[in-house]
């Protein structure tokens, strides 16, 4: 499933991570949301880092550190797979 959202552009590191997430078992697709320039995940938040914010209906809400700021991401998962996918993403 192609990445879709308000902004379809993101850094090279984030695109690589999105491809890895899309290849995981239980993931239906990744939807790129809004980006916020100049923001940071904090310590250890290099480009391509991801932080799961919460589990929502149908998947996971997360933010990624891009080279220019933060990028919202929605990870759509199969029913009942969100917790397992979140654990695998935390290991990346």
The pLDDT value recorded for residue 90 is 86
What ranges in 1-92 are assigned the alpha helix state H? 12-22, 82-91
Is-above-0.75 flag for pTM?
yes
Number of Cβ atoms within 10 Å of the Cβ of 81: 17
Span 5-55, pLDDT tens digits? 444 567 888 889 999 999 999 999 999 888 887 777 766 667 788 999 999
Residue 69 lies in a domain: yes
Within a domain: residue 72? yes
74, part of any domain: yes
Whether residue 7 lies inside any domain: the answer is no
Q: Quick one: pLDDT at residue 24?
A: 95
How many domains does the chain contain in total? 1
Tally the residues of the chain: 92
pLDDT at 78 over 50: yes
Residue 91 lies in a domain: no
| 30 within some domain | yes
What's the pLDDT at 44?
A: 62
* Domain encompassing residue 32: 12-78
């Amino acid at each position: 499933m192609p990445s879709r959202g308000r902004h379809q552009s993101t850094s090279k590191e984030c695109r690589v991570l999105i491809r890895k997430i899309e290849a995981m078992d239980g993931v239906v697709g990744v939807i790129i949301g809004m980006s916020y320039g100049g923001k940071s995940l904090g310590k250890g938040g290099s480009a391509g880092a991801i932080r799961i914010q919460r589990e929502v209906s149908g998947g996971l809400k997360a933010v990624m550190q891009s080279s220019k700021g933060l990028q919202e991401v929605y990870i759509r998962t199969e029913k009942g797979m969100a917790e397992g996918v979140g654990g695998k993403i935390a290991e990346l």
